[in-house]
């Protein structure tokens, strides 16, 4: 897990590259490396050492011929199997997955991508052909941002890295307007800033002679269509469990200590149960956060599971008094709007893990999307927020000025499947839930120099679950039906049967009580900012007063204004 940065340019941009790497040094505190092909390309890398801790695995990594130089962020979980395939083709010098990835590219070109099981964004410079090749993993677990101007191409793992050397950084009015009006965080190639884009998940690019070409390599729909399904429920459970065990096995490959995050829900309880298939699993540390509010905390359910498995549990407390400080810090690391106080609470887990030298954490992200775990999957709502069916109470378009609102354009998401449920799942996988959650989680983990792995996002798992019939996913009003049946023999029934809880922190209550002065300060900052003309501040004040009086169906619009005040003032 690392940070990558590069500039393809006919000009000398070495000093700019060094500045970029300094900005994102938190992503890789163990080593900073450079490569330059004068007059053509400058590549840099911030390394967090996870596999093959030796300096021989540092990056940029060059092949023996000197033709290729690669920078890589992520993990190739099946690197041992690929290394075995390539051992007669390539003479390996390290034990790293980095070298395996480069060898696979040298042998197979872009087709190497289909062989990779992992999370990755990487770039390879071909010294002979003066061509940059870059790619991003299937679901976009690892980031890749870029900016093209004239004959230059700049890319990095974080937006702030590009902003440091790119001059003007105007906000994208369309993306901001859609965020406030519809809760959208942008389409797969968009960011909240003009002229800064992201390589969409499952795509690769080439840049040569000033020309950029982007192509899709991952065909999710085609892969799903090839999954053979059956009405045999028990057989489907066993097939899925086998894939899941293999995914977790691969993600335990590490040369540093591995821990995991746990909540009181079905997903992380299953992860905890399967983690304990491994040797010395009772020594694997578990982390969970709580706030001291029994209406929201999942600590009682977590402890029920831990009582069964015996794993050491680290309970990480978030207090209301910490939110102001953390919100500013997390805003700086996120670069774009993020998900509120639950994200802050989650961020504290990675701080704690780093303190204890646990550099790799597993979590349960992705199970709701593949097994239809959100309430709106079984209703008529088009909501993109769990537990929020009244869009009018969630996003306050009436608080936007006409200056900004005219840029809004309600996102219309593709519906490539004939099945309504699958189309909702597809939307959440590639356009709404997963892209933003992966971005939130990447920033808060890398802020602390820790690596987050998400075993439930293995593409084989997602494709298999996605292809299953609706009645395996939802039975009556119960979401994730097959998953609940899968774990009922290994977890307490109160966990198996509990519905998904939309919030794990008292955000609504805190914003209207303990944090009311903080919110008022942020609204004042927004009123006095350079972007004040985006808003109708009298209407915002009215909505805020209504909130203080108890109209708290939703706190998302309050958090949106806090996000804007902090991000637009940076």
Which among 384, 342, 429 is positioned nearest to 179, based on CA atoms?
384
Q: In which band, very low, low, confident or very high, does the pLDDT at 493 lie, cut at 50, 70 and 90?
A: confident
- Quick one: pLDDT at residue 344? 97
Which among 431, 425, 434, 496 is positioned nearest to 465, based on CA atoms?
425
- Helices H / strands E in the chain, number of each: 24, 17
Identify whether the C-beta of residue 161 lies closer than 8 Å to the C-beta of residue 20: yes
Q: Please say if the pLDDT value at position 391 is more than 70.
A: no
Which among 144, 102, 182, 103 is positioned nearest to 431, based on CA atoms?
182
Q: What is the mean pLDDT of residues 470-474?
A: 96
Encode pLDDT of 319-375 as tens digits: 999 999 999 999 999 999 999 999 999 999 999 999 999 999 999 999 999 999 998
- Quick one: pLDDT at residue 97? 97
Q: In which band, very low, low, confident or very high, does the pLDDT at 491 lie, cut at 50, 70 and 90?
A: confident
Q: Please say if the pLDDT value at position 386 is more than 60.
A: no
Which among 446, 1, 38, 29 is positioned nearest to 17, based on CA atoms?
38
Q: In which band, very low, low, confident or very high, does the pLDDT at 127 lie, cut at 50, 70 and 90?
A: very high
Q: What is the mean pLDDT of residues 230-251?
A: 94
Work out the percent of the chain whose per-residue pLDDT is above 90: 82
- Quick one: pLDDT at residue 375? 87
Q: How many CB atoms lie within 10 A of CB 4?
A: 32
Encode pLDDT of 139-149 as tens digits: 999 999 999 98
- Quick one: pLDDT at residue 281? 58
Exposure letters 231-252 (e unless 16+ CB within 10 A, then b) = eeeeebeebbeebbebbbebbb
Q: What is the mean pLDDT of residues 156-184?
A: 93
Of the given ranges (26-35, 120-129, 187-196, 388-397), which has the lowest mean pLDDT? Answer: 388-397
- Quick one: pLDDT at residue 570? 63
Residues in a beta bridge with 68: 126
Identify whether the C-beta of residue 199 lies closer than 8 Å to the C-beta of residue 134: yes
Domain 251-385+409-493 has CATH 3.40.50.620: yes
- Quick one: pLDDT at residue 199? 98
Q: What is the mean pLDDT of residues 118-143?
A: 98
Encode pLDDT of 439-465 as tens digits: 999 999 999 999 999 999 999 999 999
- Quick one: pLDDT at residue 477? 84
Work out the percent of the chain whose per-residue pLDDT is above 70: 94
Give pTM, 2 decimals: 0.95
Q: Please say if the pLDDT value at position 563 is more than 60.
A: yes
Of the given ranges (180-194, 376-390, 530-544), which has the lowest mean pLDDT? Answer: 376-390
Q: Please say if the pLDDT value at position 559 is more than 70.
A: yes
* Mean per-residue pLDDT over the chain, rounded: 92
The two tokens of residue 35 are 């490569």
Domain 2-218 has CATH 3.90.1150.10: no
Exposure letters 77-95 (e unless 16+ CB within 10 A, then b) = bbbeebbeebeeebeeebb
Which among 438, 396, 435 is positioned nearest to 542, based on CA atoms?
396
Encode pLDDT of 200-224 as tens digits: 999 999 999 999 999 999 999 999 9
What are the boundaries of each domain within the chain?
A: 2-218, 251-385+409-493, 508-567
Encode pLDDT of 11-68 as tens digits: 999 999 999 999 999 999 999 999 999 999 999 999 999 999 999 999 999 999 999 9
The two tokens of residue 67 are 């033709």
Encode pLDDT of 298-311 as tens digits: 898 888 888 888 88
Of the given ranges (86-90, 139-143, 458-462, 480-484), which has the lowest mean pLDDT? Answer: 480-484
């Amino acid at each position: 897990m690392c940070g990558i940065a590069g500039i393809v340019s006919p000009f000398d941009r070495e000093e700019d590259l060094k500045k970029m790497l300094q900005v994102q040094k938190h992503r890789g505190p163990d080593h900073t490396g450079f490569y330059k092909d004068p007059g053509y390309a400058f590549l840099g890398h911030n390394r967090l050492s996870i596999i093959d801790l030796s300096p021989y695995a540092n990056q940029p990594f060059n092949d023996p011929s000197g033709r290729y130089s690669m920078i890589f962020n992520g993990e190739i979980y099946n690197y041992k199997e690929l290394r075995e395939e390539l051992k007669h083709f390539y003479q390996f010098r390290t034990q790293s997955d980095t070298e395996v990835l480069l060898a696979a590219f040298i042998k197979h070109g872009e087709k190497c991508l289909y062989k990779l099981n992992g999370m990755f964004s990487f770039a390879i410079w071909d010294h002979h052909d003066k061509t940059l090749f870059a790619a991003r993993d299937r679901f976009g677990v690892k980031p890749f941002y870029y900016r093209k101007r004239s004959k230059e191409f700049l890319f990095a793992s974080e937006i702030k890295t590009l902003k440091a050397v790119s001059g003007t950084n105007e906000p994208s009015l369309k993306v901001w307007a859609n965020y406030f009006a519809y809760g959208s965080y942008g389409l797969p190639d968009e960011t909240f800033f003009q002229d800064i884009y992201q390589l969409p998940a499952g795509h690769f690019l080439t840049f040569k002679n000033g020309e950029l070409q982007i192509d899709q390599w991952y065909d999710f729909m085609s892969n799903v269509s090839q999954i053979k399904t059956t009405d045999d429920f028990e057989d489907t459970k066993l097939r899925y469990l086998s894939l899941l065990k293999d995914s977790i096995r691969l993600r335990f490959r590490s040369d540093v200590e591995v821990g995991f995050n746990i909540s009181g829900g079905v997903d992380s309880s299953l992860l905890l149960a399967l983690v304990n298939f491994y040797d010395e699993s009772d020594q694997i540390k578990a982390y969970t956060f709580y706030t001291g509010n029994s209406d929201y905390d999942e600590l009682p359910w977590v402890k029920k599971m831990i009582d069964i498995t015996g794993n050491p549990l680290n309970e990480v407390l978030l207090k209301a008094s910490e939110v102001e400080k953390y919100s500013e810090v997390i805003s700086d690391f996120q670069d774009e709007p993020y998900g509120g106080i639950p994200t802050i609470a989650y961020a504290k887990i990675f701080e704690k893990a780093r303190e204890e030298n646990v550099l790799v954490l597993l979590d349960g992200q992705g199970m709701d999307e593949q097994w239809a775990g959100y309430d709106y999957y079984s209703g008529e709502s088009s909501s993109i927020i769990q537990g929020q069916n009244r869009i009018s109470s969630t996003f306050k378009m009436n608080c936007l000025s006409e200056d900004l609102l005219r840029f809004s354009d309600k996102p219309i998401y593709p519906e490539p499947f004939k099945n309504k449920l699958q189309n909702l799942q597809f939307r959440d996988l590639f356009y709404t839930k997963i892209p933003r959650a992966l971005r939130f989680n990447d920033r808060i983990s890398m802020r602390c120099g820790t690596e987050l792995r998400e075993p439930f996002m293995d593409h084989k798992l997602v494709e298999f679950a996605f292809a299953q019939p609706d009645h395996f996913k939802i039975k009556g009003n119960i979401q994730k039906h097959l998953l609940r049946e899968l774990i009922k023999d290994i977890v307490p029934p109160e966990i198996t049967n509990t519905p998904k809880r939309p919030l794990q922190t008292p955000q609504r209550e805190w914003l209207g009580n303990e944090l009311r002065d903080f919110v008022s300060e942020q609204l004042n900052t927004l009123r006095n900012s350079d972007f004040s003309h985006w808003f109708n501040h009298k209407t915002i004040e009215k909505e805020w007063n209504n909130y203080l009086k108890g109209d708290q169906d939703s706190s998302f619009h309050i958090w949106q204004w806090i996000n804007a005040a902090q991000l637009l003032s940076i």
